[in-house]
């Protein structure tokens, strides 16, 4: 039986928590961050991640990652790292599970299209949309909008990639009401969730790319870390069948990355010697990080995936269709909000306004791939009923 280690002094804990915007009695059976995690898992935006694109559109295959499976895999890696470092696992897990809530349908293609369409009205930012979801759009409680998450979860959600010098408008507006210390580093738990995202999408996109035959194992031999993992996987058995070779390679890649970040992070923490979570926040540099060599290897993997997967002609075709479809839905609804369902139409107001732009953006961003395709047909195919 695995016993949870005691928290280090610079871990976030209930003793140094800053509470919630709307005060609530503490739960008898859960910590504040277990409660946040549970609220995230139960919210509708989290469920919809099951049908939102990671790289491949959902209907292209049952085995490819979706935003939901990716988020679960990030949470698994993040929780393991947090435990090894003596940090709060529950806050780390909550942040990992919530980090992609704001993504629109069709992955980065959908986000690019929505950002371009909304450019005259401030653009679209999935990080700001995640904050809108958990503080405004989820309507589950009688006394307030959103999920009323703790300060630590909200801070980690908006700052997981580092201090925000020029925050998106909604983040800036929310910060005016509830200060999230945007100019400081995030907590160590938030930093772990962010770097676990890198580990997960690099290794698992390699897995999905091999599964889709966008490239072959032989194409990976030159990649740092991956090439060594592939060679070690081949040595693990005299005759490793291709599916097992893929899995043996990827788990070695993950292990190498996690081992590197644990060693480098421990080194940085020992040098900084932080006494509190705020000492982590005041640090000039991130404390959870790869070594320079592993950071270079990760960039090489990213460059390979960009060239051989994200810009593969098969992915390009689907991305082009997804961008066009997303832009057309937004343009049609923004020009005529009367086409929106009743509850959305009442909030959108007049066509072409900032209010309409924001509400239509919320509506489109909340769509799954499948719903977006169906909605596009309903809006453009005259033979279909609305």
Residue 149 contacts residue 134 (beta carbons within 8 Å): yes
Note the pTM of the prediction, 2 decimals: 0.93
Angle at 109 between CA 108 and CA 114, to 5 degrees: 95
Tell me how many degrees the CA angle 78-160-12 measures, rounded to the nearest 5.
65
Measured distance CA(335)–CA(331) in Å, rounded: 6
- What are the two backbone dihedrals, phi and then psi, of residue 52, each rounded to the nearest 5 degrees? -120, 140
Domain ranges across the chain = 30-110+124-177, 192-314, 316-380
Residue-wise pLDDT tens for the chain (386 aa)? 456 778 999 999 988 999 999 999 999 999 999 999 999 999 999 999 998 876 654 545 445 678 899 999 999 999 999 999 999 999 999 999 999 999 999 988 999 999 999 999 999 999 999 999 999 999 999 999 999 999 999 999 999 889 999 999 999 999 999 999 999 999 999 999 999 999 998 998 899 889 888 899 999 999 999 999 999 999 987 777 888 999 999 999 999 999 999 999 999 999 999 999 999 999 999 999 999 999 999 999 999 999 998 888 888 888 999 999 999 999 999 999 999 999 999 999 999 899 999 999 999 999 999 999 999 999 998 877 76
DSSP labels for 137-189? I-B--SS-SB---BHHHHHHHHHTTS--SS--HHHHHHHHHS---TTSPPPHH
What is the pLDDT, as a whole number, of residue 60? 53
Superfamily of domain 30-110+124-177: Hypothetical protein af1432 (1.10.3210.10)
- Cα separation, 135 vs 133, whole angstroms: 6
Chain-centroid distance, C-alpha 34: 19
Query: What pLDDT is attached to residue 64?
Result: 66
What tens digit of pLDDT does each residue of 314-338 get? 888 889 999 999 999 999 999 999 9
DSSP H or E stretch at residue 129: helix 126-132
The pLDDT of residue 386: 66
- What residues form DSSP beta bridges with 20? 150
Residue 382 has what pLDDT?
82
Contact present, 132 and 170 (Cβ < 8 Å): yes
pLDDT digits (tens, 9 = 90+) for 68-98: 999 999 999 999 999 999 999 999 999 999 9
């Amino acid at each position: 039986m695995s016993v949870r280690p005691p928290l280090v002094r610079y871990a976030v804990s209930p003793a140094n928590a800053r509470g919630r915007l709307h005060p609530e009695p503490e739960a008898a059976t859960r910590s504040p961050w277990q409660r946040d995690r549970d609220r995230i898992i139960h919210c509708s935006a989290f469920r919809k991640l099951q049908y939102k694109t990671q790289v491949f559109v959902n209907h292209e295959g049952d085995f490819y990652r979706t935003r939901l499976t990716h988020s679960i895999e990030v949470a698994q890696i993040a929780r393991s790292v947090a435990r090894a470092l003596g940090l709060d696992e529950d806050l780390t897990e909550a942040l990992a599970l919530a980090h992609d809530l704001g993504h629109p349908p069709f992955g980065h293609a959908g986000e690019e299209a929505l950002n371009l369409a909304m450019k005259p009205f401030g653009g679209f930012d999935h990080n700001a949309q995640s904050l809108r979801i958990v503080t405004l759009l989820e309507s589950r409680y009688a006394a307030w909008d959103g999920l009323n998450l703790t300060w630590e979860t909200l801070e980690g959600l908006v700052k997981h990639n580092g201090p925000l010098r020029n925050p998106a408008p909604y983040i800036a507006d929310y910060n005016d009401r509830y200060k999230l210390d945007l100019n400081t580093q995030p907590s160590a738990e938030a930093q772990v969730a962010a770097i676990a995202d890198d580990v997960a999408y690099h290794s698992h996109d390699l897995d999905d790319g091999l599964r889709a035959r966008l490239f072959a194992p032989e194409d990976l031999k030159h990649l740092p870390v991956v090439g060594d993992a592939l060679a070690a996987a081949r040595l693990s058995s005299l005759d490793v069948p291709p599916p097992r070779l893929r899995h043996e390679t990827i788990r070695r890649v993950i292990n190498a990355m996690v081992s590197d970040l644990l060693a480098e992070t421990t080194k940085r923490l020992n040098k900084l010697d932080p006494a509190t979570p705020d000492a982590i926040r005041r640090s000039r540099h991130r404390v959870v990080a790869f070594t320079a060599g592993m950071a270079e290897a990760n960039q090489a993997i990213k460059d390979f995936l960009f060239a051989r997967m994200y810009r593969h002609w098969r992915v390009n075709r689907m991305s082009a269709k997804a961008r066009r479809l997303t832009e057309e839905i937004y343009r049609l609804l923004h020009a005529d909000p009367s086409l929106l369902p009743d509850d959305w139409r009442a909030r959108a107001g007049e066509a072409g306004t900032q209010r309409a732009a924001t509400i239509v953006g919320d509506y489109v961003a909340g769509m799954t791939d499948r719903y977006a395709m169906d909605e596009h047909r309903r809006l453009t195919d005259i033979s279909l009923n609305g």
